[in-house]
Structure 1
Amino acid sequence: MKTSWDELAAIGRELTERRRQAEAAAAQRAAEEAARQREHDLFARTVGPVTPLPDTGLAELKRPRPAPIPRQRQRDEQQVLRSSLSDEFDPVTLMETDDRLSYHRVGVGPEVLKNLRQGKWTVQGQIDLHGLRRDAAREALSGFLAEAAKQGWRCVRVVHGKGLGSPGREPVLKGKVASWLAQRREVMAYTQARGPDGGAGALIVLLEGRVPRQRHLRRWLGEND
């Protein structure tokens, strides 16, 4: 079978293109090698004579690097949470209180506290601080309130324990929790839980809520009359 002139011309063009690509690749390798040699010479002139390490023949394994964890940012956030709640704060100076370990923020009517005491609000979330030390409890409470705001919860339970295991059987954490809650602007009221809900070892806390959407307004009002 004879080869036509067109086929021969196509073969010639392909061979020419392959030769051009090979020459370009060779020129690229030469340029890279020249650059490496210049860097080597510059290093040798700057550092001076060096003795290369012997080749051990060991393979260099590429181990997966651990994921970057912003530990400093985490420490900063934890410090902010701890410093946002003071142990020196006295809620009596800003809140209306009574002897049943309950309060309602200034401007919140007494009916709100009454409904809270009677369990008319559904508890949507809970945190148990019982057994935690002061700093750990404060940090956990701050994180829980932040999560409650994110979830849009209105009523939550905070379990602080009755303090029966504390020195002198004094409920230290109970008073701290009451003070910490009073410092949070999203806390509208709280009251000691009823017996089935934890009694003297827990508080029922009412939080500010987002304004409900118009299509849910009637149902929301009906649930909380």
Structure 2
Amino acid sequence: MIQDDDPADDLELFRQATRGVRPIRVDQADTGRPRIDKADFRQRRQRASEGEQRIRVDGLSDQFVIDVQPEEELAWAGNGVQDSQLRRLKGGQIPFDGSIDLHGMTVEKARELLWDFIDEATRIEVRCIRVTHGKARRKDGRRPILKSHVNTWLRQHPKVLAFTSCLPRHGGAGSVYVLLRREMLEGRED
């Protein structure tokens, strides 16, 4: 048996079921993500584009950066470093006890991390470290920026006695062994 529904009854039932409901004015779904405060967003974007104006006094200068080639071997020794010690460093005969990789970092970030790394290494009396700066074979033909800066900074750092490019198995021309100055602490026998 087919039941004949009265459309007027259906309409009345619908009205009763939707009583008190307001029509939707916005035709976009709520994704559940918090709404962005546009004024706050503009302020944060402005601060980020200005960058931090913090100045770190670390004794490293960028006034004169020694440009180097991607495949150029680096070597430098401060006053008092014997040639035999530099040869041992270059030959990888002085084991490195710490390593830092600066690939892909900005110059400022690399500078900060390198300073902190050398500071920590000398604090715990590490004799030799490895710093990987990369070779940056640039398509535009310009010299490798980070390698050039690391070469300049290490020459200026008061705790660096010498540095030289690594053996190929440790990074070759993209890394340097760094010989650090150690302080004679009480109770140490060597």
Q: TM-score, normalised by structure 2?
A: 0.63
Q: Give yes or no for the alignment of 1:180 onto 2:156.
A: no
**Residue of 46, 59, 77 corresponding to 1:84:** 59
Distance 1:134 1:90, change over 3 A: closer
CA contact (8 A) 2:65 2:148 kept: no
Report 1:63-78 matches (<5 A): none
Q: Give the number of the structure whose alpha-carbon radius of gyration is greater.
A: 1
Q: Give yes or no for the alignment of 1:115 onto 2:88.
A: yes
Q: Counterpart in 1 of 2:116?
A: 143
Q: Counterpart in 2 of 1:159?
A: 132
Distance 1:135 1:211, change over 3 A: same
Instruction: For 1:120 and 1:212, locate their aligned partners in 2 and report how far apart those are by CA, in whole Å.
Output: 25
2:172 is aligned with what amino acid? Answer: G
Q: Counterpart in 2 of 1:101?
A: 74
Give the Å deviation of 1:79.
2.7
Give the Å deviation of 1:172.
1.4
1:84 is aligned with what amino acid? Answer: G
Distance 1:167 1:127, change over 3 A: farther
Q: Give the structure with the larger helix fraction.
A: 1
Instruction: For 1:163 and 1:215, locate their aligned partners in 2 and report how far apart those are by CA, in whole Å.
Output: 41
Distance 1:166 1:141, change over 3 A: farther
Identity within the alignment, %: 37
Q: Counterpart in 2 of 1:128?
A: 101
Regions of 4+ moved over 6 Å: none
Q: Which has the higher contact order (CA 8 A, sep 6+)?
A: 2
Contiguous gaps of at least 5 residues in structure 1: 1-74, 92-98, 218-225
Give the Å deviation of 1:170.
2.7
Contiguous gaps of at least 5 residues in structure 2: 1-51, 67-71
Distance 1:215 1:151, change over 3 A: closer
CA contact (8 A) 2:73 2:173 kept: no
CA RMSD of aligned residues (A): 2.4
* Corresponding residue SS for 1:116: helix
* Corresponding residue SS for 1:114: helix
Distance 1:85 1:155, change over 3 A: same
**Over residues 183-224 of structure 1, what are the superposed CA-to-partner deviations in whole Å (9 max), with x where a residue is unaligned?**
01110000000000000100000001132666633xxxxxxx
Q: Counterpart in 1 of 2:41?
A: none
Instruction: For 1:215 and 1:197, locate their aligned partners in 2 and report how far apart those are by CA, in whole Å.
Output: 30
Q: Counterpart in 1 of 2:179?
A: 206
Aligned length, in residue pairs: 134
Distance 1:124 1:168, change over 3 A: same
Distance 1:139 1:214, change over 3 A: closer
